[in-house]
Amino acid sequence: MGEVQPKPSMADSLAGHDVHDVTIGGLLREVAARIPDTEALVEGLPDGTAGRRWTFAELLTDADRLARGLAARFRPGERIAVWAPNVPEWVLLEYAAALAGLTTVTINPSYQARELDYVLRQSNAAGLFLVRQFRGNPMGEIAQRVAAEIPALREVIDLQDEAALYGKSSAAELPEVGTTDPAQIQYTSGTTGFPKGVVLSHRNLANNARLFTQAIGIRPGERLIGLTPLFHTIGCSLGVLGSLHVGGAYVPLLAFDPNAALDLIERERIAWTIGVPTMAQAMVEAQRANPRDLSTLRFFGAGGAMVPPELVRAVRNELGADICVAYGQTESSPIITCCRPEDDFEDICTTIGRPAFACEVGIFDPAGNELVPCGAVGEIRARSYATMLGYNDDAAATAEAVDAQGWLHTGDLGTMDERGFVRITGRVKEMIIRGGENLFPAEIENVLLEHPSVAECAVVGVPCERMGEAVAAFVRLAPGASLDVEALRAHCRSAISPQKCPAHWQAVESWPLTGSGKIRKFELRDQWIAANG
Is the pLDDT at 271 greater than 80? The verdict is yes
Same domain? 219 vs 348: yes
Boundary residue ending a domain (416, 443, 460)? 416
Is 4 a member of any domain?
no
Is 375 a member of any domain?
yes
Is the pLDDT at 1 greater than 70? The verdict is no
Q: What is the mean pLDDT of residues 129-143?
A: 97
Looking at residue 189, its pLDDT comes to: 63
Confidence of residue 105 (pLDDT cuts 50, 70, 90): very high
Q: What is the mean pLDDT of residues 137-163?
A: 97
Classify residue 26 as exposed, middle or buried by CB count within 10 Å of its CB (0-12, 13-18, 19+): middle
Looking at residue 514, its pLDDT comes to: 57
Same domain? 324 vs 284: yes
Is 524 a member of any domain?
yes
Looking at residue 304, its pLDDT comes to: 63
Is 426 a member of any domain?
no
As a three-state string, the secondary structure of 173-214 is CCCCCCCCCEEEEEEECCCCCCCEEEEEEHHHHHHHHHHHHH
Same domain? 405 vs 442: no
Q: Which helix (H) or strand (E) holds 97?
A: helix 88-99
Are the beta carbons of 80 and 102 closer than 8 angstroms?
Answer: yes
| Domain span including residue 53 | 24-416
Segments in 351-458 forming alpha helices (H): 395-401, 441-448
Is the pLDDT at 533 greater than 80? The verdict is no
Mean pLDDT for all residues in the chain: 93
Q: Answer left, alpha or beta for residue 9, where phi above 0 means left and psi between -120 and 50 means alpha.
A: beta
Looking at residue 516, its pLDDT comes to: 46
Whichever domain contains 355, its CATH number is 3.40.50.12780
- Measuring CA to CA, which residue among 502, 496, 501, 451 is closest to residue 476? 451
Same domain? 369 vs 287: yes
- Measuring CA to CA, which residue among 337, 328, 262, 247 is closest to residue 56? 247
Give me the torsion for CA of 459, 464, 469, 475, rounded to 10°: 0
Same domain? 397 vs 439: no
Boundary residue ending a domain (386, 416, 446)? 416
- Measuring CA to CA, which residue among 110, 400, 360, 357 is closest to residue 229? 110
Looking at residue 508, its pLDDT comes to: 93
Confidence of residue 510 (pLDDT cuts 50, 70, 90): confident
Is 354 a member of any domain?
yes
Boundary residue ending a domain (364, 382, 416)? 416
Q: How far apart are CA 327 and CA 307, in angstroms?
A: 12
Same domain? 284 vs 145: yes
Q: How far apart are CA 129 and CA 131, in angstroms?
A: 7
Same domain? 379 vs 245: yes
Q: Percentage of the chain surpassing pLDDT 90?
A: 80
Is 191 a member of any domain?
yes
Handedness of CA 306, 308, 309, 310 (dihedral sign): negative
pTM of the model: 0.86
Is 284 a member of any domain?
yes
Looking at residue 515, its pLDDT comes to: 53
Total structural domains within the chain = 2
Same domain? 143 vs 37: yes
Is the pLDDT at 517 greater than 60? The verdict is no
Is the pLDDT at 443 greater than 60? The verdict is yes
**Exposure string for 137-153, b = 16+ CB within 10 A, e = fewer:** bebeebbeebbeebeeb
Same domain? 264 vs 142: yes
Q: What's the pLDDT tens digit per position in 185-239?
A: 999 865 455 789 999 999 999 999 999 999 999 999 999 999 999 999 999 999 9
Is 421 a member of any domain?
no
Confidence of residue 413 (pLDDT cuts 50, 70, 90): confident
Q: How far apart are CA 207 and CA 476, in angstroms?
A: 48
Q: What is the mean pLDDT of residues 122-128?
A: 98
Sheet holding 335-338, edge to edge: 50-55, 39-44, 250-252, 224-226, 272-275, 299-303, 322-328, 335-338, 354-355
Dihedral pair phi/psi, residue 21, rounded to 5°: -90, 95
In sequence order, what E strands does 63-154 have? 79-83, 103-107, 127-130
Q: What's the pLDDT tens digit per position in 348-367?
A: 988 999 999 999 999 999 87
Q: How far apart are CA 271 and CA 269, in angstroms?
A: 7
Same domain? 364 vs 496: no
Looking at residue 518, its pLDDT comes to: 63
Q: How far apart are CA 471 and CA 532, in angstroms?
A: 14
Q: Which helix (H) or strand (E) holds 141?
A: helix 139-147
Looking at residue 306, its pLDDT comes to: 67
Looking at residue 513, its pLDDT comes to: 75
Q: How far apart are CA 342 and CA 83, in angstroms?
A: 39
Same domain? 297 vs 368: yes
Q: What is the mean pLDDT of residues 446-452?
A: 89
- HSE of 496 in the Cβ direction (CA atoms, 13 Å)? 23
CA 12 to chain centre: 23
Q: Which is more confidently placed, 455 or 67?
A: 67
Same domain? 393 vs 440: no
Q: What's the pLDDT tens digit per position in 37-61?
A: 999 999 999 999 999 999 999 999 9
Q: Percentage of the chain surpassing pLDDT 70?
A: 95
Q: Which is more confidently placed, 441 or 174?
A: 174
In the three-class reduction of DSSP (H, G, I as helix; E, B as strand; rest coil), residue 103 is classed as strand
Whichever domain contains 510, its CATH number is 3.30.300.30
Q: What is the mean pLDDT of residues 300-311?
A: 81
> Which pairing describes strands 272-275 and 299-303: parallel, antiparallel, or unpaired?
parallel
